Structure 1
Amino acid sequence: MLIVLLPEPLLAAGLESPPLYWWRLGREGGLLESGQDDLPALRRRYPAERLRLLAPATATSLYRVSIPVRRASAARAALPFALEDQLGQELEELHLVAGPRRADGRYVAAVTEHRCMQEWMQLVEAAGWRADAMLPQGSLHQDQTPERGLRIQPSPWPNGQSTVLVTSVDQEPVLIEQELLGFWLKQRLGQLDEDQRRVQLIGLTPEQLGIDADCEVDTAVPASLEAALLASLQPARSLNLLTGGYSSGMAAPPWRKLRPALVAAGVLLAVLIAQQGIQTVTLNKERDRLQAQIDQLFDETLPRSRRVDPVTQFRQVLEGASGQAAADGMGVLLHDALAAVAAEGSAKILQFRATPAELELELSLPSFAELEKLRSQLAASAGLSESLQGADSDGEGVTARLRIQRNPS
């Protein structure tokens, strides 16, 4: 994870890509590397690292406000009205973010200018990066809250050599210039109750700060930069400035949430492709085996034929044999039937229709007696059977239709 401290808008004015302080943290939060480079250089150096931004305290203010609601959505809607009296700018110029609820029941609110947000976004987008979150720099020192009063200690940040960190129970952490501390401290102490007007100094003395307030010098270890960086890794921090219109351009791409489903779909697709490949190989082997068997059968069945297309050649041979058998069967049936008609002498064939299985004759005979005589002759013929389909008589004789079939052997 790369943690990058964004520049102050006034300091970055006129610079296409100003140098920024950065820290690279491991999975457990340990500091691996740090330095000062511009974002394009960091992008080339760490293209696969996730990016988390810190908005400088000089451009981001933190407040605690009382909002008589419990739902987070209602708190976000009521935030502009709760902050209206504390802000010296038009609300349209400011980007307001509602944070978590503190132990005293009040909500944390972060305020910065839209102008600053737009400049920071352009800076990051120009480098081709997407940020996971943008956190106020001061919000990372919430763990430095004293039990009562104010705690003042040196700023651990590399851009804050003349800056001090002020924390208290009733307000959010503040990073303030030492030159402004005396005036600010008088006003701040006036807002506290008598029992809370206590100033604790860590790593500093009243003479260094130029203040004459009643102070207690503590020998505790000042706030460390490593602790603040570790706090920036919290996965569920709700005080994220990338909300509203700034969430789509800077947040993680939408497909990242679908990554498990996409991986599962990719695995399934790979399995299907592998299965299809195995089936194709199996079918090709089966085809080659059947082709070899067909060739072997052709060579054994038609040894004198030249093998070109065995399947087509087999089909032609079978059709030729079937046609020859059909022609032979029809010829025998015609011969036997016509021989019986010719033996009658007086019968004349008007028309006939023949198939390999049967023969239909339309005959003209002098009388019904000759018709019955012909039927008797056909019935007496070996292997033939006849049936009368119809008969008509007129002044010239009898017209009859006979169906002649070969008896099954």
Structure 2
Amino acid sequence: MSERLLLSMPADGDLRIHWLHWSDSTQQRLDTGSIEAGGSLDDLGERFAGVPCYVIVPGEWVSWQQVVLPKGGRVGLAALPFQLEEQLCSDLDSLHLVCGNIVANQPSDVLVVDRQRMDEWFALLKDSGLKVKSLLPDYAVLPENVVLLDERRATVRLPAAAASLSTDNLSAWWQVAGGDVSPRCYSEQGAAIAVSLPAESTQTYEQRLEQIARLFSPWPMNLLSGDYRLKEESNVLWQRLRWPVVLAGLLLALHWLSLGLEIADSRRQIALYEQGIDDIYRDTFPGARIVNARSQMRSQLAALEGGNVEQSAFMPWLDRIARASKGDSGISLQQLNYEKNAVKVLIAADGYEQVDRWVAALLSQGFEVERGAFGQEQTGITGQLVLREGGK
């Protein structure tokens, strides 16, 4: 169910602020009441904290002007006060101006109100807790061609004029501003109203604020703008969402920190793997210049295999050498060259016993082993073996 709260500020001679809780879907009153003028709105703020609130002020205190400006947008907005200065005959610093959308060379609506009045309304609303959507004069919430009458006040909204004034003065005002318009007229039930209008139709109502709620059609403007913009609604929302937002931000920051640490660790591991590949290539091809070890290793293997992995003897030989070397930590291969069906291996060993054991393992793999010269080193012996296929 769509609901709204209408709050009517007192006009001259009225000592109370009237409020109406209204259902848009049923077009019925949900509740109504009034509080003393100048009193606190805290109780209403607590009761209707989530209900959109529209504040209606007496139109006698708000002037509606129309101006035509040669420029639109911000340029037109800056020129607006100077355009109105002669019409208002007042110190502009003492006035609060609110305008609609400014389009070059087209009439623009402007609402003008004394800042002293705005200060009073703003002070009453700013700490109330109400969800105030807009503040408008009463004629600015009525549709066109409507006159709302009671014994004391008349509120009029015509296509080219709008005002709130004493009912006794309506006839004189109509002769100047009404013209030949035939409005819909709504009169307070039981009120003695001595006004004759060329009305299209005349109906009666029981309660003024309820009738405004039925006809409610607000202008797309808001007197609570500029220096009088209410910030409490956003502050209240921030107070409600502050800790969830902070917690969500903290979790997001931790997530990104964790992700960053994982990326850094992955890059470190990749760097170690790349260094390991370089070390293997350097051990396999001593003195070779390394640009891209993986690519160079593939090129070396392709050259050794003659471009045909299935027919080359090198890869099966390498596998047999690996099986013969398995588990023997006393042998270290320093260099391995494959040429003309023979593999020349430069090895380092702790002693001749390890060399003999490894030669025996190679013979068991079907190799014919030819020993070269061995020499003594500080940590063991080094020498060369030539491996061929057995029987060749």
TM normalised by structure 2 equals 0.50
Structure (1 or 2) with the greater helix fraction: 1
